[in-house]
Amino acid sequence: MHACTDEKSALFGLEMAKKYDNFYTSAGFHPECMNRLPDDYMSVLARFVKDNPQIKAIGEIGLDYHYEGYDRDAQIKLLTSQLEFANEHELPVILHCRDALVDFLDILREYRPKGVVHCFSGSAETAAEFLSLGMYIGFTGVLTFKNAKKAKKAAEIIPLDRLLLETDCPYMAPEPFRGKRCTSDMIEKIAICAGEIKGVDPQEIVSLTNQNARELFKI
């Protein structure tokens, strides 16, 4: 599953989907692209979804208050308009949250989308909040980092039927590849780590998370 962040990456995803039968993609506008949003971004999103059945999710969308100068109101408007669209079209969402947890949870409680909180590295308590809203939780190579104590504690409480693995390519490569470009073949390392945490064979982790992804994205 290819997650997009803007119009350009959505077009790239669609080109790949034309080449490969088992390639699925998304469409959506990430909060970090606020300064390059098309004026008619919701019309752009609607056209993508209408014309391309390979699009199986809206995302990557969310809130990001990490950098100075962010526009809170504009980000909330961008997120909520895309959540409304996703709900109307019965599509799951791929969600991003960075330093914006209070607003993010409030919005999820209001809109109740189906989807995944991707690249999770928060606490078990935060994971429990997302689980209570019916969300899946996605882990990257961060789970394998020695200092990722919070993420490991969170993984302990996540039911196997709500767990997903991801690359967040090109970022978040697992140990022993930390700092390198992350690729899909590195998922094995995340599965091994998740298996150790859950007391489950890594191959079972791969099979279960594959099934979870198929169910969430209807692929």
Give per-residue pLDDT as tens, 4-51: 999 999 999 999 999 998 999 999 999 999 989 999 999 999 999 998
Q: Which pLDDT score is estimated for 8?
A: 95
- More reliable by pLDDT, 51 or 165: 165
C-beta of residue 141 within 8 angstroms of C-beta of residue 190? yes
- Which secondary structure element, helix H or strand E, spans residue 49, and what is its range? helix 41-51
Q: Which residue has the tokens 């099934």?
A: 211
Phi/psi region, residue 119 (left: phi>0; alpha: psi -120 to 50; beta: rest), is left
Q: Which pLDDT score is estimated for 108?
A: 98
Q: Which pLDDT score is estimated for 51?
A: 85
Q: Which pLDDT score is estimated for 27?
A: 97
pLDDT over 90 (residue 107): yes
Give the percent of the chain with pLDDT over 90: 97
Q: Which residue has the tokens 């969300």?
A: 135
Q: Classify 24 as helix, strand or coil.
A: coil
Q: Which pLDDT score is estimated for 87?
A: 98
Q: Which pLDDT score is estimated for 14?
A: 95
Provide DSSP, 54-122. TEEEEEEEEEE--STT--HHHHHHHHHHHHHHHHHTT--EEEEEES-HHHHHHHHHHH---EEE-S--S
**Range 106-112 average pLDDT:** 98
Give the percent of the chain with pLDDT over 70: 100
**DSSP 8-state symbol, 2:** B
**What are the pLDDT digits (tens) for 170-191?**
899 999 999 999 999 999 999 9
Average pLDDT of the chain?
A: 96
pLDDT over 90 (residue 59): yes
Domains of the chain, start order: 114-219 (3.20.20.140)
Contacting residues for 135 by C-beta, under 8 A, at least 6 apart: 95, 108, 115, 116, 117, 162
**pTM of the full predicted structure?**
0.96
**Range 92-115 average pLDDT:** 98
pLDDT over 90 (residue 132): yes
